[in-house]
């Protein structure tokens, strides 16, 4: 079960964090080059981020499973790092979800414009900050998981841990 948990977690983190990275470095830039209009690009990115946010929920669930399965009362740095980075990523992701809904409500999908008078810029900036926080927290989580697994494997392989 340990290998399955780790494999699923790595796949989910790769899909989520890799997706966020690809989205920010490639999709946004390509959308601006093709569409050219900042407002219209938002309608493309709205669809992409809806999918990324759903992937994030699945990844966070697997991350929490790993925290629970790796938890030991001694609380070494990797295990505390897992918990702290999961809390940061989950909190930021909750903010992303709330802001995404708020931003969606400001969009006029038929006219492909932001509704007149809608305060879009401020919430969008908060959305970008929250997304950056969850991305960094996800990378910290990955590092803590790898370090924790290394300790876990070393402990389970040591002769003193044999029955």
pLDDT, one tens digit per residue, over 89-116 is: 999 999 999 999 999 888 888 887 888 7
Q: Give the residue numbers spanning the domain of 45.
A: 2-151
Q: Quick check: is 50 in a domain?
A: yes
CA 117 – CA 119 distance, rounded (Å): 6
Q: How far is CA 59 from CA 34, 91, 130, 145, in A?
A: 31, 14, 16, 13
Q: Note the pLDDT tens digit of each residue in 144-162.
A: 999 989 988 887 776 654 4
Q: Quick check: is 163 in a domain?
A: no
Mean pLDDT of the chain: 88
Answer whether residue 27 shows pLDDT above 90: no
How much is the pLDDT for 107? 87
How much is the pLDDT for 48? 87
Q: Which two tokens stand for residue 4?
A: 């399955």
Q: Which H or E element spans position 107?
A: strand 107-108
The number of distinct structural domains making up the chain is: 1
Q: Quick check: is 65 in a domain?
A: yes
Q: Quick check: is 160 in a domain?
A: no
Q: Quick check: is 158 in a domain?
A: no
Q: Quick check: is 41 in a domain?
A: yes
């Amino acid at each position: 079960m340990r290998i399955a948990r780790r494999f699923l977690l790595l796949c989910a983190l790769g899909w989520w964090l890799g997706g966020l990275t690809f989205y920010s470095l490639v999709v946004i830039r390509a959308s601006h080059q093709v569409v050219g209009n900042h407002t219209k690009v938002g309608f493309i990115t709205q669809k992409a981020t809806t999918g990324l946010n759903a992937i994030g929920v699945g990844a966070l669930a697997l991350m929490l499973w790993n925290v629970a399965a790796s938890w030991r009362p001694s609380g070494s740095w990797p295990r505390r790092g897992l918990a702290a980075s999961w809390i940061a990523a989950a909190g930021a992701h909750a903010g992303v979800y709330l802001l995404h809904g708020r931003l969606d409500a400001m969009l006029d999908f038929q006219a492909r414009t932001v509704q007149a008078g809608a305060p879009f810029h401020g919430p969008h900036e908060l959305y970008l900050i929250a997304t950056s926080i969850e991305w960094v927290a996800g990378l910290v989580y990955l590092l803590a998981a790898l370090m924790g697994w290394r300790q876990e494997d070393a402990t389970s392989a040591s002769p003193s841990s044999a029955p």
